[in-house]
Amino acid sequence: MVSRLQLDRWLMMGMIGFVIGLMGFFMHQLIEQIVDFKWDTIEDLIDDENMGLAWLFSVGYSVAFVLFSAALVIFWRPSAGGSGVPEVTGFLNGTRIRHIFSIQTMVAKFFSCVAAIGSGMPVGPEGPMIHLGALVGAGVSQFRSETLNFKLPFFERFRNSEDRRNFISAGAAAGVASAFGSPIGGLLFSMEEVSSFWTTTLSWQIFFCCMVSTFTTDLFNSAFEGFRYMGDFGQFKTMRYILFNIDKGVDVNILMFIPTVLLGVLGGGFGAFFTILNLKVQRLRKRILSGMTVKWKQSIVRLAEPAILMVLVATASLFLPDAFSCTQYTCVPPNSTEIREGCINSTTSPYHVDIGAVVPYTCPSGSIYQQNGTWATNGTYSELASLLFGTTEQAVRLLFSRSTHVMFNYGALSVAFVFYYLFTCLACGTALASGILVPMLLIGGIYGRMVGLGMVSLFGVHTDKTSYWKWMDPGAFALIGAASFFGGVTRLTMAVTVIMMELTNDVQVLLPVMVSVMVAKWIGDFFTHPIFHAVLEMKCIPFLESDPRVTIMGKSIKLELYTVKNVMTSPVVTVCERASVQELAAIMLNTCHGGFPVLHIKANGKGRFIGIITRLELMVLLSKEDLFEESDGNGPSDISHDVNWVEFEELLIDKLANPEAKADMLKRYIEEDRYKNKYLDLTYYYNQSAFSIPEQFSLQRTYVLFRTLGLRHLTVVDKHNEVTGIVTRKDLMGFNMVERLSEVMQVELDKL
């Protein structure tokens, strides 16, 4: 019952998952190495009270990595910059984007991302992992590389655009799965955000791919720490493989939904503002760069930008904590609601600050002694340094930790919020290959914790386990806040919820998380687009939404009231079933259309639509001179000839090799007389299953047809089946429909 093809497809999904899992493992370990060395050295230097040297080291080390990261992108592979999510999304929607799937891009992206995150810039590796995953999906499944110029004889059946697209969707999903350790979350992320075409069968295969990817990353990570083999290969320690594992969940209470809705509103507002701010910065950057005419100046500016940003980040993270006084370790003793200073972690009082999790910075560590039968300390730590030092993951873990009501106060949280909000917003869009998913969790976690802290300030600490107020845990609100900001920026729902569940192992707060995500989405949608779509627009990637939405003068237009005739492109360049070689060559040289309707010439001399042929297919056919037929001088004959079959596979290319030589060939065809009476019979080559619709077809249905079936060309015919127009992606883009329909409306108005 299972065909060989299906079996191969599953196998391929497993292979893609494995490669991505391995890649995720290497990236994780490399980043850990770089980051650990940086912060260990800095903390040592601070311990020695050598702030100057610490600053020098921090800035030097970080800027070096940032320069390396940016240089890779700027001088080698510009397509490796940014997160890559909009590009992959655009590609899967049907737009070809140059170079995003080449081996060099992969190498550049990998190292640029490792260096960028290693440097300490507040960015995350998840976006690049999505792009890298898509790259693996595109590369492994094809078993060939144009760059490396090889082509293995396996899986040739997957060298078609549908399979390629599916493997890329799978790769993107597996990238998230590996980076977050979140297989179902990755699957849903790919479905909700990245992919435009999705089937149930595909989701099963991607499920498998994500599973293998997560498994591989977890398995290798289980045995290694900073590339040091630890001997416990195969033991998946929860603390390692669940990124932000929550131990003690809280029971949900209906009152919890009041601050949750507030968090949702904040998430939507902050998220929308983040998107708007980020776009403004990106536009400004674009304007400044395009103002420069000299290429190398542009490059220098693009290289200098993240470096300067890095200097600011490194300096701020090192000196800002100095502006705050040290905090003494505190806890809430058993059977008490009073926060007491000096006492420390004990099994009976869980409301503590965990020594070892926080950063001492320049604060005196003090000593631990026993007082009245309980352990106490006069040691101190720096709240802000705990949030700014180390990786963003570590900071998130602190924010999410439960029963730590007294760990952070408003001051440190506010400063950290501004710090991360600002720098993440500025860093996202520089030349670095980096994403913003974990920083988003961090930003949301900070204001979430502030709201939670506000509740504690208002209603006091409740340590009683059975208390009605036990839900008032700042750590739980940090989690909900993180989800709300994630939702407010990306506007995803299912994916965010499941990712939060898988990241934290906390199903208890599922409902509050859902509520905050939903509210954040509503609020955010009210202000602006989701960030990935806004970036798509800014990058001029023509993206077709699943539902068409056209707004003219503030009013949303009912597309049912218009016909395809209102937006189609006309006239159309067509070719005949049996076409003159010289005419075809001229068409190839003078137009850049991707497809041409094929006509059958009727007795009355007019052409009836019979199918479509793509530019690439025509080019392949034109390069085979032995296919050309001599005409009898009276135009093409209707007699069928013996056909030299061009191998089917030769037509299945997706890029033209050696375009200059092809152009020369076409010019020769036009100039040389001996091609004058040559004809090419397209009968066996054109696509007979091309859609055509009548002119009066409703615009709404046209859009749905085009988008749902993922068409590239849709021919419009009149009642005699003669071609009157063609619809391509561009014609259905929002701005284009607005323009054409405005004209139509104007004509209607003029009539009155």
When binding is defined by CB under 8 A, the residue of 103, 518, 538, 656 that contacts its own copies is 518
Q: Minimum CB separation from its own copies for residue 448, in Å?
A: 19
Tokens of 692: 């055509």
- Rg over alpha carbons for the chain, rounded to the nearest Å, is 30
Question: How many residues interact with its own copies (rule CB under 8 A)?
Answer: 77
Query: Does 348 help bind its own copies (rule: CB under 8 A)?
Result: no
Restricting to residues 1-20, name those near its own copies by CB under 8 A: 1-3
d(CA 353, CA 262): 27
Query: Does 490 help bind its own copies (rule: CB under 8 A)?
Result: no
Which of residues 53 and 252 has its CB atom nearest to its own copies in the complex? 252
d(CA 418, CA 439): 12
Binding piece for its own copies, criterion CB under 8 A, among 96-104, 388-396, 505-513, 668-676: 505-513
d(CA 242, CA 499): 11
C-beta separation of 512 from 259 below 8 A: no
Using DSSP, state whether 661 is helix, strand or coil: helix
When binding is defined by CB under 8 A, the residue of 22, 289, 316, 494 that contacts its own copies is 494
Which of residues 505 and 677 has its CB atom nearest to its own copies in the complex? 505
Binding piece for its own copies, criterion CB under 8 A, among 96-104, 270-278, 491-499, 649-657: 491-499
User: How buried is 684 (Cβ within 10 angstroms: 0-12 exposed, 13-18 middle, 19+ buried)?
Assistant: exposed
Query: Does 600 help bind its own copies (rule: CB under 8 A)?
Result: yes
Which of residues 218 and 305 has its CB atom nearest to its own copies in the complex? 218
When binding is defined by CB under 8 A, the residue of 290, 556, 634, 640 that contacts its own copies is 556
Nearest to 351, CA basis, from 406, 312, 296, 393 = 406
Query: What track of x and - describes contact with its own copies for positions 425 through 464 (by CB under 8 A)?
Result: ----------------------------------------
Restricting to residues 79-118, name those near its own copies by CB under 8 A: none
When binding is defined by CB under 8 A, the residue of 369, 468, 645, 684 that contacts its own copies is 468
Angle at CA 431, nearest 5°, toward 142 and 191?
45
* Residue found under tokens 């070689």: 581
Binding piece for its own copies, criterion CB under 8 A, among 167-175, 652-660, 695-703, 732-740: 695-703
When binding is defined by CB under 8 A, the residue of 698, 734, 742, 744 that contacts its own copies is 698
Nearest to 194, CA basis, from 309, 86, 355 = 86
Query: Does 526 help bind its own copies (rule: CB under 8 A)?
Result: yes
Tokens of 384: 């802000």
Nearest to 192, CA basis, from 511, 409, 491, 600 = 491
User: How buried is 481 (Cβ within 10 angstroms: 0-12 exposed, 13-18 middle, 19+ buried)?
Assistant: buried
Q: At what angle do helices 85-93 and 531-538 cross, to 10 degrees?
A: 80
Which of residues 105 and 213 has its CB atom nearest to its own copies in the complex? 213
Q: Minimum CB separation from its own copies for residue 17, in Å?
A: 11
Restricting to residues 223-252, name those near its own copies by CB under 8 A: 232-238, 241-242, 249, 251-252
Which of residues 393 and 722 has its CB atom nearest to its own copies in the complex? 722
Q: Minimum CB separation from its own copies for residue 688, in Å?
A: 5
Q: Minimum CB separation from its own copies for residue 210, in Å?
A: 8
Q: Minimum CB separation from its own copies for residue 200, in Å?
A: 6
Binding piece for its own copies, criterion CB under 8 A, among 99-107, 216-224, 384-392, 447-455: 216-224
Determine which helix (DSSP H) or strand (DSSP E) holds 578, and give its type and residue range. strand 578-580
Query: Does 696 help bind its own copies (rule: CB under 8 A)?
Result: yes
Binding piece for its own copies, criterion CB under 8 A, among 268-276, 305-313, 645-653, 701-709: 701-709
Which of residues 232 and 625 has its CB atom nearest to its own copies in the complex? 232
Query: Does 608 help bind its own copies (rule: CB under 8 A)?
Result: yes
Query: Does 207 help bind its own copies (rule: CB under 8 A)?
Result: yes
* Residue found under tokens 């609601």: 337
Restricting to residues 170-199, name those near its own copies by CB under 8 A: 183-184, 187-188, 192, 199
Query: Does 162 help bind its own copies (rule: CB under 8 A)?
Result: no
Which of residues 209 and 353 has its CB atom nearest to its own copies in the complex? 209
Nearest to 256, CA basis, from 521, 501, 473, 504 = 473
Query: Does 218 help bind its own copies (rule: CB under 8 A)?
Result: yes
Which of residues 41 and 493 has its CB atom nearest to its own copies in the complex? 493
* Residue found under tokens 């209603």: 459
Which of residues 391 and 497 has its CB atom nearest to its own copies in the complex? 497
C-beta separation of 708 from 579 below 8 A: no
d(CA 249, CA 229): 33
When binding is defined by CB under 8 A, the residue of 410, 709, 735, 746 that contacts its own copies is 709
Query: Does 547 help bind its own copies (rule: CB under 8 A)?
Result: yes
d(CA 685, CA 579): 13
When binding is defined by CB under 8 A, the residue of 208, 381, 447, 706 that contacts its own copies is 208
Strand pairing report for 368-371 and 551-552: unpaired
Query: Does 507 help bind its own copies (rule: CB under 8 A)?
Result: yes
When binding is defined by CB under 8 A, the residue of 705, 733, 738, 744 that contacts its own copies is 705
When binding is defined by CB under 8 A, the residue of 255, 276, 534, 586 that contacts its own copies is 255
When binding is defined by CB under 8 A, the residue of 25, 697, 703, 706 that contacts its own copies is 697
C-beta separation of 702 from 709 below 8 A: no
* Residue found under tokens 């077709």: 544
Which of residues 119 and 497 has its CB atom nearest to its own copies in the complex? 497
C-beta separation of 649 from 627 below 8 A: no
Query: Does 160 help bind its own copies (rule: CB under 8 A)?
Result: no
When binding is defined by CB under 8 A, the residue of 51, 107, 219, 733 that contacts its own copies is 219
DSSP letters along 358-424, please?
Answer: S--TTS----EEEETTEEEE--EE-HHHHHHSS-HHHHHHHHH-TT-TTS--HHHHHHHHHHHHHHH
C-beta separation of 176 from 126 below 8 A: yes
C-beta separation of 380 from 329 below 8 A: yes
Using DSSP, state whether 233 is helix, strand or coil: coil
Nearest to 600, CA basis, from 609, 590, 591 = 609
d(CA 49, CA 43): 10
Query: Does 604 help bind its own copies (rule: CB under 8 A)?
Result: no
Query: Does 534 help bind its own copies (rule: CB under 8 A)?
Result: no
